[in-house]
Amino acid sequence: MVERLYKTMLLNWIVLILSLLFYEAFSCPDGWSAQQSSCYHFSHDKEAWANAVTICQVLGGHVVEIEDATENQYLVSQAKIANTSFWIGLNDLQEEGTWAWVNSKAAASYTNWAKGQPDNDVRNENCALITKGFNFLWNDAQCYSLQKYICEKTAENTMIVG
């Protein structure tokens, strides 16, 4: 009976050690938060949309491209905590009314526009943001207005040993 108990304990320890040796995790740099397989940086400064695009590239990512409701819900939760609006990577600069992501150039397959948006008010609203003013739904705004922004990059798949 004791011998069987020792064998079971030994087997459990071996499984635990092997699990720890080969555990894979996603990691993000300091100042970035991990959510699923992406890292997000929520800026503290305000920039025009084009400057936000450049800064995100310098940081090794791109202005966020929101692919589904789950991702949007996470970003909105963070925007609500910060209690502010954030630029996202969606724009219609190439063709009015055709909204595409700046990094991938893909048309938006998921959107979360506020009612009546995008409306191109003042005929010069070509960049999108998650906006506090519309209960954290999406709105189009003038690209040169100063807003905080969200950068995104793929989380690094890191092997943790030991």
> What pLDDT digit, counting tens, does each position of 24-56 carry?
356 999 999 999 999 999 999 999 999 999 999
pLDDT band of 3, cuts 50, 70, 90: low
Residue 115 neighbours by CB under 8 Å, 6+ apart:
137
What is the per-residue pLDDT for 23? Answer: 35
pLDDT band of 156, cuts 50, 70, 90: confident
What pTM, to 2 d.p., does this model score? 0.81
Residue 137: CB atoms within 10 A of its CB come to 17
Query: 2-160 — its CATH code?
Result: 3.10.100.10
Matching residue, tokens 């789950």: 70
Domain layout of the chain by residue ranges: 2-160
- Measured CA to CA, the distance from residue 77 to residue 53 in angstroms comes to 22
Cβ contact 151:43 at 8 Å: yes
Q: How would you classify residue 11: left for phi > 0, otherwise alpha for psi between -120 and 50, otherwise beta?
A: alpha
